[in-house]
A and B are shown apart, each in its own frame.
Chain A
Amino acid sequence: MLSRIRAVRFRNSEFRENKVGPMRNILCVTLIMMSMVTWRVHAETNPSTQPVQGLRENTPRVFALVGGKIVDRPGHVWNDATLVIRDGLVEAVGENIQAPPEATVYDITGKTVYPGLIDAYAEAAPPSDGVATALREQGAPYWNSLIIPQYSVAQYYRPSASQDEKLRSQGIVARLVAPGSGILRGTSALVSTGAASSERAILNPDVFLHGELTAPRRGRRQYPNSPMGAVALVRQAFYDAQWYEQTWQAYDNDSRLPLPERNDALQALQSLRGEATPLVLSASNELQFLRADRFAREFGLPLILVGSGHEYRRLDAIAGTQRHVIVPLDFPQAPNVGTPEAAANVTLERLMHWDLAPENPKKLVEAGVSIAFTSYGLKSPGDFLQKIREAVQRGLDKDAALRALTETPAEMAGVSRRLGSLAPGKLASFLVTDGGLFEKETKVLETWVQGERYLHNRTPEADISGAWKWNFTVGAPEPASLKIDIRGSAPDLKGELQFAEKKLPLTKLRLDGLRIAGMFRGELLKKPGVARFTAVIEQAEESTLTLNGSGEWGDGTTFRFTATQEGQTDEAASEEEAEEKEDEAKLEDRAASFAVNYPLGAYGREAPPERSALVAFEHATVWALDGTGKYEDATVLVRDGKIVAVGKDVQIPDGATVIDANGKHITPGIIDCHSHIATDGGVNESGQAITAEVRIGDFIDCNDIHIYRQLAGGVTSSNILHGSANPIGGQNQVIKMRWGSLSEEMKFGKAPAGIKFALGENVKQSNWGDNFTSRYPQSRMGVEQIIDDAFHAAADYRKRWDEWETRHEGLPPRRDLELDALVEILKGERLIHCHSYRQDEILALLRTLESHDVRIATLQHILEGYKVAEVLAQHGAMGSAFSDWWAYKFEVYDAIPYNGALMYRSGVVVSFNSDDAELARRLNLEAAKAVKYGNVPEVEALKFVTLNPAKQLRIDEHVGSLEPGKDADLVVWSGHPLSTASRCEQTWIDGRKYFDVAQSKQAEAKAREMHRTLVQKILDLEVPMQESPAEEEEDPMRLWPRVDVYCAFSQAGQP
């Protein structure tokens, strides 16, 4: 089976040195040895199947570069060295090497040679329509057209002369060209920048498998249309590849089995995995980076990351992954802060990013991360070196920079036998500069690609700078003899005529080989108009030049002149130049003004809040919500993050940090049972009606400022739910609001798994617009059926697996992540949280679940729960509702604020949730509405936002009330927690103070000061600013919805 498909894919086995088997290694060595022998005998310069057109070309290709500095590998320099090149390969490099007599010798005295640079990531143009259609529809593609690992850039690559020229001008001799569209996109090729035709350009095909863990932003129809859907899809594809291999093996062993499906994508994935081809994932921010790492670990895949330039924001975690990183150089332009108003709109985060981003490469290297560079994201690859120099100015070690441009990418791509340094046998791909590569003024003079020499900055044939004595011989003005002064070197020449304390600029000075031309105004010389001249440069004596020229005055009369070089001009540069230099120095010297905080920007922390071993809050009104409910003038004692005692007679041990809470109220931390903050996975995967495979937990956004804002409202835990687009949506994630920590650290580890279901208008697409009338279901009748059907499917699936586990007969069953989640529900291992409004649909769902012996955890929204409250109670369903939302769509026209109280009186465990980033900031006041509408006792009402949601999420063993043994998640309020006049003063999680009103004010003052400082820095440095005062979002992950667009807002998804 393996061999059958492998034949489809040609590989250059010689290049793939880190992946070849021993047999092939021997073969390679033999080939190389044979070719080494042939070098000396006759140079076969062009081993090709192409027939020769016209005459054979056999120009000798032996060169020696002599007398310069040669940096043959990062950190090693030969001085006064020689580099010998034969037939495109390095023959010798080092000091004391004789140039072969047949070699063409280039004197590189004063110049420096570096190994050719490698641009580690570029994106190929998207496949042409024809190819795209073929990938989608021809052969045996994967069912989803975003999974195209079988696509190989090498098969469609075509070099572009102009692009290659730009790359060579930066010293780039090879680059990795990766496929740019899709989720699993196919394989990249390492290509040379010095080949006119593709068959010569591909150095190594199928280097990496590429992808990105996000979806293209497109409409609501296609699956996946969210980042979390994309991850679910890729995850399924990798499982499918494993299954594909197993199922074909089974079939190959027993041909009586049914013929398995053929699938090009899975076949390719299987082959690539077999060869341990690294996966390269693009990560548009630091969180995507960490997600990609987690994903690769799930499957044990070798992974390389294409970074975003945001890596410095979570440097320790990034370094901890020990992945190679391809680092971009598109440092942000300064935001527009030209007016106070524009500046006010620029976030501190953005300002800090502008300030810190150029230090990203340095920080990565210092953290021990192995990096390579990409020109991807730059306006032009012609800015490549300039940006790298900026990174060096901002602290990146020069050897490390060179390594990231040579050795590292060569190793990553498995071509260090050929590229990455200069040594005998390697490709003669290198660059020649007139100075240190990372010095600002240094020019790349020439780039050699596989023995071909490309000149960029030809050294002017004459150095005409200096002072000249200028004598008019014919048509002389008054005076006939003057001085001229020429500065700079071609093409940036500046000149000045000088006589009798007067200065007259020479303009349009142009050096063309050994000719020079220019203009000057005649007035001061008592000649009309503008004079033009041309002269020929000749060598007079050793190192002295003369000019012999002629010109024309403004009136048409002509003149002739000679000039003699007299020596160098005074180095005293003009004041203007001095100022320029000073400004540049300022730019170069600048370091980031502030250290990275977590998350970056306002309210970011420098370190996690400390945890005192013992904390006692005394003299507070404590709403413990235990059997007693509420204590006056009581103490809460916390040890190591857990509550150890609550009550009036608690002894405070010595050494405890004592907090006087006299006059304050303390309640358990608020728990929001329905939220969509802190996720950047798109909230909804609406491409299919059932998306049980999708996981919010893949996309917890620990940088979401709403986490902090809600801490300031007393929220300590939150249930982050998938949206309501589908009858069976994605898996939810319960988090603790541990602001400053990483996404994984925010997860409420002990919370059981759950999943979102939804009913009614949203899932039957009532408010999606007029074009959504065909997806099943379109009615509540269909909603009931599709859910019932899914559970039947899950039961069948479970049975098939059980049979397989016991008998191992037939084809192995395919692991289906969607059905896995449903089986977990059947097993009672996954809680259902179902968006629901109307009593009919509520009843129908409960009856369907009961028929499958499943009990629901919570009904969410449940705004008509009051109409069937006794059914909920009998089923054991809990209700998590809005306190008083209604009338925003038809199915909530009968929603009433008494709903909570009526359900409560019927014995249902009731919570009030937010479903809204703003409302979550004052859920305590939502609890007060249970008192207003239905007279629920205060203690019970407060449970609506604390203990009851904890019960609903099955985390009440840990949180929800202040009882010994539970987590110290609590809130200190300025007054009665149900009063509008009270405010949250402190919020504690696990015995750590994550919010403090006074500290918050300090943080705001600090943020203001940082903002002011950075705005001034931009203005003071006079760096170019973005034109538009608008906030342009450079990270596409930021643009995914942060609300349930099908739920919160009803008008065609817009607020």
Chain B
Amino acid sequence: MKILMNLAYHLRTCCFPLALLCAALWGTCSPASPEIPGAAQSQPIALVGGTIHPVSDSPIEGGTLLFAEGVIQAVGGDVDLPADTQRIDVSGLHVYPSLIDAMTDLGLVEINAVRSTRDQRETGAINPNVKAQVAFNPDSELIPVARSNGILLALSAPSGSLLAGQSALMRLDGWTWEDMTQKAPVAMHVHWPRMTPLSAWWSSSSEEKPQEKYDQALEQLRETLRDARAYQRSKKVVQENGDQIPYDARWEAMLPLLRGELPWIVHADQREQIQSAVAFAAKEEIRIMLYGGYDAADCADLLKRHEVPVIVGGVHRLPARRHSPYDEPFTLPERLRQADVQFCIASGGRWSSSMVRNLPYHAGTAVAYGLPRQEALRSITLYPARILGVEDRVGSLEVGKDATLIVTTGNPLETPSLVTMAFIQGRQVELDDRHKRLNRKYSEKVRRFQKTDSE
């Protein structure tokens, strides 16, 4: 550990003058976070003595969790450990699966205000072919900050005006984006057109002809599917004749969607949008999920009938309408649960990804407003894993799943709880970050001044 820290220190000192230069020449250099990716698990590890929260099942006090070669081997009160097992005493601590943020632009945006550090949005409305993972910056300073609070997996998604591109579920530790990709693609993202215009200070009083714009956008989506299907048919026919058709990147990217292998994540909050998206998808035979979902509880029957899960786009939101109950966004997860709609909670990405670390507090607020605590925990672990199609590997502490987990001082939904250890596929990852580094540096300054004062 000490060596790592020293290395981190050296890296920082090397980078520091560079960072100053960056102020002027941001585009030509990108700072690297000095945290070194964890090494592959070399021996079985057992976390013993703590409270294990499998999330899929009830907690085990004084339990043991054993994992080897990155995979959980045993979870329970009484576990036989292989001879070469490294025992880590976690008495008084808690073991949880990794928290999963089901919607971020982590790795794609470093500093929102600095254009050269934004890679989350491609030009044009129809970009089914762009893929988040290939622009994911493994050295983003935002990644270790999110990791420090127990988020080891995050969906990194492109944004756009209509068909934004493909998202990827990323492990938040590694050397390259290839190392870090848990699953790609996860989904194709569609920002569903709004039927009612926003009337706000940044738009000129009210948009003209909202209905017309909406119709046009919808027609554009229909056309996209029509064209993609035409490509699919032509390709099949031509291939049967032993030939190839000219390559079209966009329609090529749509093929998995047409085959039902890839879902759309539809970004929609309003009732009208949700109804329209679900009906559209049913007709076009596309599997969809919702992101945002402010009004989703009002469309519960529709969502259940079509088995559309909802990624709640942040609990910490303002009520959508002046007359909405003040706690409407806070009660949304509980209302979805009561309506038996499949859901999970994401941090919402309102401040780009610098706020991913606050994901557990969204779930915490949902608890204050009715969601049972266990469900809240699942809504940021097991449920996002299920919705994003990675339940077989992550989301809970069960034998056979990845050892992607955290050790904490308490319930992660409560603010003061700290993450003391983290493992991704059995690799112990560093929990240092830019903030802790700066804290150390300036704690020293404070200490020196206090010393001078007291002398």
Contacts and interface: CB of A to CB of B under 8 A. Distances in A.
B354 to A, nearest CB: 4
Interface in A868-884: 869-870, 884
Interface stretch (B205-213, B219-227, B377-385): B205-213
Interface class of chain B by DSSP: loop
A1032 B199 contact: yes
Interface string A1027-1055: 01111110010111110010000110111
A349 B323 contact: yes
A177 to B, nearest CB: 26
Contacts of A601: 322-323
Contacts of A344: 271, 295, 298, 321
Contact of B415 (A870, A890, A932, A1007): A932
A861 interface: no
B114 A980 contact: no
Contacts of A1051: 112-113
A929 B415 contact: yes
Given A884-B358, A889-B112, A1000-B326, A1030 B413 contact: no
A706 to B, nearest CB: 8
Interface in A16-45: none
B365 A980 contact: yes
B323 to A, nearest CB: 4
A100 B298 CA distance: 78
Contact of A341 (B23, B207, B271): B271
B375 interface: no
A1045 B271 contact: no
A602 B323 contact: yes
A8 interface: no
A767 B113 contact: yes
A896 B443 CA distance: 12
* Chain B: interface size category: 35 or more
A980 B271 contact: no
Contacts of B141: 887, 893
Contacts of A934: 439
Contacts of A905: 446, 450
Given A898-B435, A905-B446, A980-B361, A602 B322 contact: yes
A597 interface: no
A1039 B318 contact: no
Contact of B275 (A341, A349, A888, A919): A341
Residue among B197, B321, B436 with the most chain A CB within 10 A?
B321
A983 B369 contact: yes
Given A884-B358, A902-B446, A932 B418 contact: yes
Interface in A887-940: 887-890, 893-894, 896-898, 902, 905-906, 917-919, 921-922, 925, 928-929, 931-934
B415 A980 contact: yes
Contacts of A1054: 202
A1053 B323 contact: no
Interface in A970-1006: 974, 978-983, 1000, 1004
B434 A896 contact: yes
B110 interface: yes
A348 interface: yes
B57 interface: no
Nearest to B271: A341
Residue among B113, B368, B445 with the most chain A CB within 10 A?
B113
Nearest to A893: B111
A902 B199 contact: no
A220 interface: no
A568 interface: no
Given A896-B439, A931-B415, A978-B416, A890 B202 contact: no
B445 A867 contact: yes
Interface in A75-96: none
A705 interface: yes
Contact of A349 (B272, B322, B413, B417): B322
A1033 B199 contact: yes
B414 interface: yes
B327 A928 contact: no
Nearest to B209: A1028
B113 A980 contact: no
A331 B361 CA distance: 46
Residue among A889, A917, A925, A1045 with the most chain B CB within 10 A?
A925
A121 interface: no
Residue among A349, A869, A889, A980 with the most chain B CB within 10 A?
A980
B17 to A, nearest CB: 15
B250 interface: no
Contact of A888 (B111, B317, B321): B111
A499 interface: no
Contacts of A1045: 201-202
Contacts of B211: 1028
B364 interface: yes
Residue among B272, B275, B415 with the most chain A CB within 10 A?
B415
A1000 B413 CA distance: 26
Interface in B317-367: 317-319, 321-327, 351-352, 354-355, 357-358, 361, 364-365, 367
B321 A925 contact: no
B195 interface: yes
Contacts of B271: 340-341, 344
A1011 interface: yes
Given A925-B415, A983-B368, A896 B111 contact: no
Given A887-B142, A889-B112, A1033-B206, A928 B326 contact: no
Contacts of A448: none
A1042 B201 contact: yes
Residue among A341, A884, A1004 with the most chain B CB within 10 A?
A341
A434 to B, nearest CB: 42
Given A890-B23, A902-B443, A906-B449, A885 B354 contact: yes
B318 A709 contact: yes
B219 to A, nearest CB: 19
A544 interface: no
Interface in A253-296: none
B438 interface: yes
B373 interface: yes
B316 interface: yes
Given A602-B322, A887-B142, A918-B318, A902 B201 contact: no
B442 interface: yes
Contact of B416 (A349, A931, A1007): A931
Interface in B409-438: 413-418, 434-436, 438
B200 interface: yes
A791 interface: no
A1000 B324 CA distance: 12
B91 interface: no
A1033 B142 CA distance: 40
Nearest to B201: A1041
Interface in A332-385: 340-341, 344-345, 347-349
B86 interface: no
Contacts of B327: 712
A902 B448 CA distance: 13
Contact of A981 (B114, B210, B413): B413
A949 B358 CA distance: 24
Given A348-B322, A1050-B112, 7 more contacts: A602-B324, A712-B327, A902-B442, A932-B418, A983-B369, A1031-B206, A1055-B202
7 contacts: A344-B271, A345-B270, A885-B355, A983-B369, A1029-B195, A1041-B202, A1053-B202
Interface of A: 340-341, 344-345, 347-349, 601-603, 705, 708-709, 712, 761, 766-767, 866-867, 869-870, 884-890, 893-894, 896-898, 902, 905-906, 917-919, 921-922, 925, 928-929, 931-934, 974, 978-983, 1000, 1004, 1007, 1011, 1028-1033, 1036, 1038-1042, 1045, 1050-1051, 1053-1055
The 10 nearest A-B residue pairs measured at CB: A980-B364, A1050-B113, A889-B113, A602-B323, A928-B415, A887-B354, A898-B439, A896-B435, A1041-B201, A348-B323
